[in-house]
Structure 1
Amino acid sequence: MKKYRIAIAGSRYVDPSNGLLLAQHSEIKTIIKSMTPIGFTKFLKKKFKTENIIFSSKFSRKSKTLYYNLYPGHIIVKEQSKRVGIFANLLAQSAKER
């Protein structure tokens, strides 16, 4: 089984992290779950010539990130496609009951 390098960082590292991941594996799917400027995902898709970048909003304070991912009040994914539907369902399935 291949090992992939996973980059976890603040939003200012999203662009270079995507570049590094796409250089290693061109078909990788990237999910941005960070506060980024409006149009940033579109910019990355154009820059890296890929549609494999998905934006999913996060609404949390840093100290509560795990809590909000386990017990989300809502799930927002900004794209309408089958793959995003699968991702949103995975988020919903992994959420715990409050």
Structure 2
Amino acid sequence: MATNGVHIIVSGRVQGVGFRWMTKMVAAKLHITGTVANQMDGSVEIYAVGASDQLAQFEAAVKASPTPSGRVSDYQATPLDPVPTFKNFDVIG
């Protein structure tokens, strides 16, 4: 099964609403590795690596906001090439 990676930047109501921690829970459920971090401009940056079908499910969950009180107003995703290796999915920053 091919492993793919994506770099995601989301903005909207994505800080102070549990967005990073809920993203981590979704990643764990789908066996996605990578990182999620708040950015100084109010956005959230995500690096995600996993099997194609799980990665697609992960991206859909992030777009829809994994937390009920969050709202994604802008979503930008760029494929990662080469695909980095992460051991876990970590909340950083």
Structure with greater proportional helix content: 1
TM-score normalised by structure 2 residue count: 0.29
Structure with greater proportional strand content: 2
TM-score normalised by structure 1 residue count: 0.28
